[in-house]
Structure 1
C-alpha cells in the first residue's frame, strides 16, 4: 500500500512538472528548454551571479522575438529582449506588469509587505501613498544627512589608512551605506563606520546571510505562494524582524512624544501613519499607514 502511494505521488509530481514546463510551448512562445528542478537558472547563487544567468538566457533568446520564455525553477518567467517591448512594459502597459511574484506574508512576516513585493490593489494603494515621499524635492531634503555621513566616511578612510596602510573598500562602503540607511530610513545613528560590529550593521548582515535550508525554503514558497501564505510561512530571520520592528516602534514613539521632526524618510512615513499630507498645500485625503507598513517600507529603503 505504501509503495502504491509513493508511486502515485511520484506520478503526480512528474505530471505537475511536465505541465509547468509546457507553459511556454502550448502558448507558442520561444523558450529555453528547462531542466528540473532549477529550470534555466542552474548555477544561480553558487557558481554564477544572477546577471550572468540572465545574460546567457538573453543571448539564446535574442532575435527570436520581442520576448522569450524561461523558467525560474518551476516558475514560467518572461524575458524581454526588445527595447521597444521593454518600454511598453514599463510605461504603456505597466498596469499589467507591476506584480513581481516575490513571496510576501504581511501577517506573519510583516517586513516582507513592502512596495516591491505586494500585489494587485494593495500595491496600487500603497504606491499612491508613497509616491509623494520620493519626489526630487523630498530626496534633496535628505542630502545633508548623506553629506554628514560622507564626512564620517572621509574620517574613517583616513583612520584606517593610517592604521594599516590598506583599506578594505567593500566593507567600508557597506558600513557607509548602512549608516546612510540607518539615518535616512530609521532615524538612527548606527555608527558602523566607527564601530564595524555595531548592532544595526550586524542585523544588516543577517538579512543577506543564506543557508542551504533557507534557499530550499525560499524555492518552495515561491512555487506554492498562496498555500505558504495561508500556512504562515516566514522567510526572514525572525531575530532581524523583531529588531527592525522594535527600532521603528521606538523611533516613532520618541518622535511623537517629543514633537521631533527631521528631514528624513522616517519623518515622511510618520506623516503617512497619522494621515497627514506629505506635500505642502495638499488637501487630498490620506489613508493611514500602520506601524507594520511603515516598518516594511523603511526596511526595504
Structure 2
C-alpha cells in the first residue's frame, strides 16, 4: 500500500512539474500572463460554456492594456494576444507572410467540411485557397449583393413595427439575429429563410442547434483542438450532425446553379472563382506540357 501511494505521489508531482514547465513559456520570455491552471491553461476562461469567450478576453485585455501583448495557454499551447495597434498592423499587413498558418486547430479529417475551411488550412493549402477566395471580396462584386440586403432590411423594419404595435417592447436581439440569418442565407446561398416572417423555420432550428453551447460540446472542442490524435483515435467526428443538413442543402443549390440558375449572390461568385481557378490550372498544365 505504501509503495502504491509513493508511486501515485511521484506521478502527481511529475505531472505538476511538467505542467508548470510548459506553462512557463511566456514568463521565460518576459511576456505577462495570468495564472494558468494545470494542463488546461486558460481554457476554463476562454472555452467556458457559462461565460462568453469575448467577455473573458475583454477582461484580460483591460488587465494588460498597458502592455503591447500578453500570453495565454490553450492547454499547453502558448497563444499570444496582441494589444498594440502598430504591432497588429505589422502582423496583418507588412509581415503578413510570416503569419499565414493559424495552427492545427482541428482534427484534419479528410471527409470533414470543417477541415476544408480556410481557417483550418495551413501553409501552401491556405495560400492556394485564399488566392481563390480573395477576388470574390472585391468592392464591385460585393455591391452585387446589396439589393437582397435592402429587401431584408425593409422586412426587418416592418417586423419590428408590427411587433411594436402589439407589445410595449421589442426583442431587438432576436430580431437582429433573424436579420443576420436571413441576410447570410440569401446573400451566401440564395435561400429564402424568412425567419423574420416565420416563427421558427427549419434553417434557423439547425443553425441554433449548431451554435448551441453545452458542456459536452465545449469538452469535445477542447479534445479536438488540443488532442486531435486522441480525438481521431476515439472515432469522434469533427463535423456535427447539423453539418450534414447544411451540406445536403448546399449540394442541392450548387447542382441548381450548375444547371444554369443564377442569383448574383456570393455562391455564384465562389463558383465563378472556382471555374476561373480550374481554367487557369488547366492552362498552366497544358503550357508545361
Q: Give TM-score, length-normalised by structure 2.
A: 0.82
Contact 1:61 1:67 in 2 (8 A): yes
> How well do the aligned residues superpose, as a CA RMSD in angstroms?
3.0
**Number of residue equivalences:** 278
- Cα separation, partners in 2 of 1:175 and 1:7, compared to 1, 3 Å: same
Q: 2:266: which partner in 1?
A: 265
Contact 1:207 1:236 in 2 (8 A): no
Counterparts of residues 1-301 of structure 1 (less than 5 Å): 10=12, 13-40=15-42, 42-44=44-46, 45=48, 48-64=51-67, 66-101=68-103, 102-103=105-106, 105-225=108-228, 228=231, 233-238=236-241, 240-257=242-259, 259-273=260-274, 275-276=275-276, 285-286=280-281
The 10-residue stretch of structure 1 (76-85 or 5-14) with the greater mean CA deviation from structure 2:
5-14
User: 1:215, 1:230 → 2: CA distance?
Assistant: 19
Deviation at 1:58, TM superposition (A): 2.9
Deviation at 1:145, TM superposition (A): 1.2
The 10-residue stretch of structure 1 (24-33 or 261-270) with the greater mean CA deviation from structure 2:
24-33
Q: Deviations over 1:115-137 (max 9, x none)?
A: 22322211111100000001111
- Cα separation, partners in 2 of 1:218 and 1:18, compared to 1, 3 Å: same
- Cα separation, partners in 2 of 1:154 and 1:67, compared to 1, 3 Å: closer
User: 1:31, 1:85 → 2: CA distance?
Assistant: 18
The 10-residue stretch of structure 1 (131-140 or 162-171) with the greater mean CA deviation from structure 2:
162-171
Deviation at 1:60, TM superposition (A): 3.8
Contact 2:164 2:170 in 1 (8 A): yes
Structure 2 segments unaligned to the other structure (5+ residues)? 283-289
SS at match of 1:197: coil
User: 1:231, 1:8 → 2: CA distance?
Assistant: 29
User: 1:60, 1:153 → 2: CA distance?
Assistant: 39
Structure 1 segments unaligned to the other structure (5+ residues)? 279-283, 288-301
Return the structure number with greater helix share: 2
Q: Give TM-score, length-normalised by structure 1.
A: 0.80
Contact 2:189 2:253 in 1 (8 A): yes
Q: 1:297: which partner in 2?
A: none
- Cα separation, partners in 2 of 1:106 and 1:159, compared to 1, 3 Å: farther
